Every structure is written in structure tokens, then in C-alpha cells.
Structure 1
Amino acid sequence: MIIGIPKEIKDHEYRVSLTPDGARTLVGLGHRVLVEPSAGDGSGFPDEEYRKAGAQIARDKAHLFAEAELIVKVKEPLLEECPLFRPQQTLFTYLHLASLPQLTKALLDARVLAIAYETTALADGSLPMLKPMSEIAGRMAVQIGAHYLEGLHGGRGLLLGGVAGVAPAHVVILGAGVVGSAATQIAVGMGARVTVINLDLERLRALDALYRGRIVTLAPNQWAIDQTVLDADLVIGAVLVPGAKAPKLVSRAVVSGMKPGSVIVDVAVDQGGCVETIRPTTHSDPVYKVDGVLHYGVPNMPGIVPRTSTLALTNATLPFIVRLSSEGAERAIRSDPALAKGVNLAYGTVTHRGVAEAHGLRFEPLT
């Protein structure tokens, strides 16, 4: 199979979807790997490393899309890339289509087979390709929040962990999945006062046992969420409904009542966000204020640490890329229930219920 590795063009997105070592594995299995020029530069993987691994450097993006049967990306295509797709081509990437109606329509019109990293799920419900980026995003959310709490950057002028005689900042984490757990680890490590709110009580029990009284755990009801957020200095949105829009847990009214200079980092922004006032931002212009509260809504947060992210992502995606390329996409989907769950669009039809419901489109399950 011919596998295409395009250069990411989202704002300040320096990750690449495959390392040279990953390319070497695929070439060794008899596949042809085409890499767009300078696709790996931002992650520290120059073209020469791909050549040494046996990959070929495409003339340009158009050449790569014209040749490749399987397009492997990091982030969802931008609308300007969609005309490059051709019917029956397979796209394998993070998609987050529930919050992207225009992209959903463009990919439906292109009649591609679109498989999303974030909905590819193992039998136990775990999301193997979402997990590494969620771990990174969760850890980074606390670092970024601490940065914007500094007075120099518009925040309340707080040190997250406080000092002797001065209370630490209060970090409220909405969700205790991979993102929330990673955020909790860093927030506790930095000495913050941490409250975690999550629907799954067993997950809260596990965190409570792990941190031995160093965090407060709360079961969610709207009153408890509202009161806890109003007391927060930093709120981290870490809610996930795979493939669907995130529920809105924090209203505009509650945001308006938060302390001036407080910070919201909503990691769920790529699924619409769990804070009513959040909207997607970019690395070039990452924050804005609503009623004196800073909002950070960059959807591709792990792109800030591209080498770590690229290495972690390839570790997770390569086994699935091998299966898709060696068996062919349709056979791989039939034989692998995890990949089947990843299929969001199939040749002009919506095959993921969450995406269909988000846009009022007809849902047609895979047969």
C-alpha cells in the first residue's frame, strides 16, 4: 500500500504522524511511504532521516495526496486540504467531527473512509490512540494554567503552590479520565489545592486512595460544580464523550461570577468544550477574556511539545497503520472491532452515532 504522511498545516502544529522508525517498519513490510517535504522538521525529524528509513519524499502535498491510498495525519484536515482527497481514499487521524460541521460535510462530499484516532476503542473501552495525547494535554493544562495565573500574563498573580504562610491556588478539574488524572498528578506535584469532579465514583475512589487526602473528590451535581468553580483559581475541563460533543458543565453565569484573573483551560474544546464560554483558539493567539476570566482553548495543545508527542503518537498508531496497510482498510475494519469503532465516515455516509446526532445527519452503522 502507498501511505502518505502530509505536513501538518494547523497553526503552530509541529507534530508529524509518523517517525522515521515507523516508516522503516512499514517499508520493511513491503509498503511505500511518501512523506511531504519538511513534514518532520518541527519534531526534529529531517527529510534525510526518512530517506534513510526507506521512505520517499513527495514532490509536494498535491503529489502525496494523488499517490497515497492511506493518508495518515495528526490533526483533522483543514478545509483547504479537502479538495485533495479522492473517493475511496482512507484517512486516519484525529477528527473530532462532532464539533466541525463544515469539515464533516467536506469529507462526506469527498467520499473517503475516515477513521478517527479518538473513537478507535479496545474491547475494554479504552482509547489507545487518544490516551498518549490526553496524558500530554492533561499535564500541560496545569503548566499552561499556572503560566496564565501569573500577573504578567493577565492572571490573578498567583503561584500555584503558594509559599509558607500563603495558601496555594485552587485547581478544579472537571473529569477524572486520562486528561483529568494526568492534570491531577501535575497539580498535586506543584502543591496546588486540588478538587476533582467526576461521574464515576469508582474512579474517584481510586484517586482518593492514590493521593491519600491530598485532593478533594466530588460527585457531580450542578450545584456542587457551580460552587466549586466559583471558588477556583484554575479550572481544567477534562470531560470526554468519545465521538460526541462534550456536555456543558460550566455556564456563562458561573464564569461571570468567578474571580477576576482566574483561568480556564478547556482540554475538551476540540469536542465543543465543557465551558459555555470557551471557543477554539490558536497557539498564535491562545487566550481571551470573558468577564475578567482568562480562557485558553487551543485544541492541539500537545503540538507545543512536538517531539515527545510525535514519538508517543507513533507508538500508539503504528500497530493500527500496519494492520490497515497490510490487510487493506476494509478487511482490517471487518477483522478488528477496535478499528471498526474508529470509522466515523464511510464513502459519503455517517457511521458514528455521535457525529450524526451532532449535525442532524442520518446515521448508517457499518455493515
Structure 2
Amino acid sequence: MIIGVPKEIKDNEARVGVTPAGVRALTEAGHKVLVETHAGELSGFTDDDYQNAGAEIVGDRGYVWGKSETVVKVKEPIEPEYAYFREGLVLFTYLHLAPIPDLTNKLLEAKVTGIAYETVRDRQGTLPLLTPMSEVAGRMSVQVGAAYLEKEHGGRGILLGGVPGVPPAHVTIIGGGIVGTNAAKIALGFGAKVTLVDLNLNRLRELDDLYQGRLYTLASNSYNLANATREADLVIGAVLIPGATAPKLVTRTMVSQMKKGSVIVDVAIDQGGCVETAKPTSHSNPSYVVDGVVHYCVTNMPGAVPHTSTLALTNSTFPYLMRIANLGAREALKKDPGLAEGLNTYQGKVTYRGVAESQQREWTPAADLIS
């Protein structure tokens, strides 16, 4: 199989879909890998590294897309890349289609086989390709939030961990999944007062046991959310419904009642965000203010630490890529029901229920098309 690795062109996206180690394994298995020049440079991998591993370095982005049977990326394609779509192309990347109907339309029109990292499941039913970036984003959300609480970024001028005689900042985390758990770990490490809100009482019990009472847990309802956000200096949105649009749990009214100079970091923004006032931002223009509250809603947060993120991501994605390369996409999807969960578009149809429901489209189960 011919596998293409284009350079990411989303604003300040520095990750890359395959490392030189992955190229070596693919070429040793008899596959051809086309890598766009400088694709891995910002992640710490040079063209020479890829070439020495067996890749062909290509200067023409269109050639990489046009000659490859499977294209491996990190972030969802943006408008300049839509022209490269064609029938039969396999696209293996994060897609986050629910809040991007235009991208969905283009994939369907071109009959692209779109396999989304974020909806692939393993035998335990977890999301193995979303987990590593959720870990990175969860940990980053606290250090980003701490920076934006500083006065020069528009914050209240609060040190997250406080000092003796001065109380620490209050951090409210909405969601107790991978993002929320990692955010809690780092916020507690900073010395902050941390409250975590979740619907799942069993999950709250687990976290209470894990942190031995140092983490305040709160059952999720609108009353508790209003109180928790009003008291918070930093709110971290960590809500996920796999593949679907995130629910707007923090309303505009709640935001208006928060402290002036407090900070919201909405990690759920990839799926539309869980804060009503949240809108996607980029690393070059990361924040804005609503009702005196600083909002940080960068859709590719892990792109700021590309070396760590690329290694963490490809550790998880590469076994699936090798399976697709060795078997072909259709056969790999047939043999692995968990990988088939990642199929979002196929033969001009939406094949993931969460995307279809979010965009009010017709849904065709993947199994009906690949069997």
C-alpha cells in the first residue's frame, strides 16, 4: 500500500501522523511511504530521519495526497485540503465531524473513507486513540489556565497554588473522564482547591477514593454547576459524548455570574464545546473575553507540545495503521469491530450515529456497508 503523510497546515499544528520508526516498520512490511517535506520537523523529526527510515520525501503536497491510497494525518482537514479528496481515498485522522458539517459534506461528496481516531474503540469499549491526546490536553489545561490567571493575560492575578497565608485558586473541572482526571491530577499537584463535577456517581466515588478526600466531588446538575462555576477562578470543560456534539452545560448566564478575570479552558471545543460562550480559537489567537471572563478554546491544544504529543499519539495509532496497510481498509474494518467504530464516512454515507444525529443526517451502520 502507498501511505501518505502530509504536513499539517492547521494554525500552529506541529504534530505529524507517522514517526520515522513507523516509516521503518511500514517499509519493512513492504509498503511505500510518501512524506511531505518538513512534515515532522516541528515534532523533532527531520526529512533525513524519514529518508533514512525508508520514506520518499516529497515537496508537492498534492502529490502526497494524489498518489497515496491511505493518508494519515493528525487534525481534521481544513478547506485548502478539500480539493485533494477523491473516491476511494482512505483518510485516517482525527475528524471531529459533529460541529463541522461543511467537512462532512465534502467527505460524502467525494466518497472518502473517513476513519476517525476519536471514535475507534478497543475490546474494553474505551477510546484508545483519543486517550493519549486527552491525557495531554487535560494536563495542559491546568498549566494554560494558570498562565491566563496572570494579570498580563487578563486574569485575576492569582497564583494557582497560593502561598502560606494566602488561599490557592479554586479550580472547577466539568467531567471526570480522561481529560478531567488528568486535569485534577495536575491542579492538585499545583496546590489548588479542586472541585470535579460529573453525572456518574460511581466515577465520583472512584475519584474520591483515589485522591483520599483531597478532591471535592459534586454531582452534576444545573444548580450545582451554577454554584461551582460562580466560585471558581478556573473552569475546565472536560465533557465528551464520543463523536457527537458536546452538551452546553455551562450557560451564558452562569458565565455572566463568574468572577471578573476568571478563566475558562474548554477542552471539549473540538466537539463544539461544553460552554455556551465558547467558540473555537487558534494558537496564534488563543483567547477572548466574555462578561469579563477569559476564554481559552484552542481546538488543537496538544499541538503546542508536538514532540510529546506525536509520540503519545503514534504509539496508539500505529498498530491500526499497520493493520489497514497490511489488510486494506475494508478487510481491516471487517475484522476489527473496534476499528469499524471509527468509520465516520463511507461510500457517500455517514456511518457514525453521533455525527448523524448532531447534523440531523441519515445514518447507515458501518456493518451494513462493509460486510
Contact preservation (8 Å) 1:154, 1:294:
yes
Equivalent residue for 1:293?
Answer: 293
Pairing 1:131-210 to 2, within 5 Å after superposition: 131-210=131-210
Q: What is the identity, as a one-letter code, of the residue corresponding to 1:129? A: L
Q: Post-superposition shift, 1:297?
A: 0.5
Distance in 1 (alpha carbons) for counterparts of 2:237 and 2:77? 24
Q: Post-superposition shift, 1:203?
A: 1.4
Equivalent residue for 1:324?
Answer: 324
Contact preservation (8 Å) 1:35, 1:57:
yes
Are 2:264 and 1:241 equivalent residues in the alignment?
A: no
Q: Post-superposition shift, 1:87?
A: 0.4
Distance in 1 (alpha carbons) for counterparts of 2:75 and 2:156? 33
Look up the SS of the partner of 1:309 in the other structure.
helix
Percentage of identical aligned residues? 59
Q: What is the identity, as a one-letter code, of the residue corresponding to 1:262? A: S
Distance in 2 (alpha carbons) for counterparts of 1:310 and 1:70? 19
Distance in 1 (alpha carbons) for counterparts of 2:360 and 2:177? 28
Q: Post-superposition shift, 1:123?
A: 2.7
Deviation readout 1:131-174 (Å, 9 max, x if unpaired)? 00000000000000000000111100000010111110000000
Equivalent residue for 1:74?
Answer: 74
Equivalent residue for 1:212?
Answer: 212
Deviation readout 1:271-321 (Å, 9 max, x if unpaired)? 010000000000000000000000000010000000000111110000000
Q: Runs of 4+ in structure 1 displaced over 6 angstroms?
A: none
Look up the SS of the partner of 1:264 in the other structure.
strand
Q: Post-superposition shift, 1:26?
A: 0.6
Are 2:31 and 1:25 equivalent residues in the alignment?
A: no
Q: Post-superposition shift, 1:59?
A: 3.3
Are 2:105 and 1:105 equivalent residues in the alignment?
A: yes
Are 2:221 and 1:226 equivalent residues in the alignment?
A: no
Distance in 2 (alpha carbons) for counterparts of 1:358 and 1:274? 14
Q: Post-superposition shift, 1:80?
A: 1.3
Pairing 1:249-260 to 2, within 5 Å after superposition: 249-260=249-260
Look up the SS of the partner of 2:265 in the other structure.
strand
Distance in 1 (alpha carbons) for counterparts of 2:64 and 2:116? 20
- TM-score normalised according to structure 2 size: 0.98
Distance in 1 (alpha carbons) for counterparts of 2:273 and 2:85? 29
Look up the SS of the partner of 1:254 in the other structure.
helix
Distance in 2 (alpha carbons) for counterparts of 1:218 and 1:110? 46
Look up the SS of the partner of 2:341 in the other structure.
helix
Look up the SS of the partner of 1:247 in the other structure.
coil
Distance in 1 (alpha carbons) for counterparts of 2:235 and 2:137? 14
Pairing 1:271-282 to 2, within 5 Å after superposition: 271-282=271-282
- TM-score normalised according to structure 1 size: 0.99
Contact preservation (8 Å) 1:82, 1:110:
no
**Aligned residue pairs: how many?**
367
Equivalent residue for 2:37?
Answer: 37
Q: Post-superposition shift, 1:200?
A: 1.6
Pairing 1:256-271 to 2, within 5 Å after superposition: 256-271=256-271
